[in-house]
């Protein structure tokens, strides 16, 4: 068991701790992480925008969403997981927060990010 896996278990939400298959997915996730002083960088597959891709129980998801669910509990339907470090590849639980689409949009506007950010800066 890796050090990162042990750290995941320390953060693990009760719902996932009791799931029979949680160790398999935590092992897979932990093997794809490069831990630094701040962020935990996803080194597995990535998709659009540098966000990781990870298959859990046959469903392709973001590892940041998986780690949020494992450590903090379920994400409400239609909500996003915000990276407070502004690093799409980060899956450190302390940098992740589930937000409504509206709240997430407000963060992106405040930080001048999002779909039309580059046009606003020109």
Distance of CA 119 to the CA centre of its chain: 27
- The domain tally of the chain equals 1
What backbone torsions phi and psi does residue 99 show, to the nearest 5 degrees?
Answer: -135, 150
**Plot region of 25 (φ>0 → left; ψ -120 to 50 → alpha; else → beta):** alpha
- State the pLDDT at residue 43: 95
Q: Which ranges of the chain would DSSP assign to H, the alpha helix?
A: 3-11, 14-17, 22-30, 63-72, 101-110, 117-121
- State the pLDDT at residue 53: 94
Residue 23: its H or E element: helix 22-30
Domain containing 63 — which CATH number? 3.90.75
The residue segments making up the domain with residue 23 are: 3-121
Burial group, residue 14, by CB count within 10 angstroms (0-12, 13-18, 19+): exposed
Give the global pTM: 0.76
Residue 42: its H or E element: strand 40-42
pLDDT tens, N- to C-terminus, the chain (122 residues): 455 655 665 556 566 655 666 677 888 888 899 988 889 999 999 998 899 999 988 889 999 999 888 888 889 999 999 999 989 999 998 999 999 999 988 887 776 665 444 333 34
Tell me how far apart the alpha carbons of residues 95 and 74 are, in angstroms, rounded to a whole number: 16
- State the pLDDT at residue 19: 60
């Amino acid at each position: 068991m890796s050090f990162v896996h042990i750290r995941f278990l320390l953060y693990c939400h009760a719902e996932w701790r009791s799931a029979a298959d949680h160790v398999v997915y935590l092992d897979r996730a932990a093997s794809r992480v490069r831990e630094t002083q701040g962020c935990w960088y996803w080194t597995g597959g990535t998709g659009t925008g540098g966000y990781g891709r990870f298959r859990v129980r046959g469903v392709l998801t973001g590892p940041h969403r998986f780690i949020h669910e494992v450590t903090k509990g379920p994400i409400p339907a239609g909500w996003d997981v915000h990276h407070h470090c502004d690093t799409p590849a980060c899956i450190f639980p302390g940098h992740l927060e589930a937000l409504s689409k509206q709240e997430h949009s407000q963060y992106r506007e405040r930080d001048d990010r999002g779909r039309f950010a580059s046009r606003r800066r020109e």
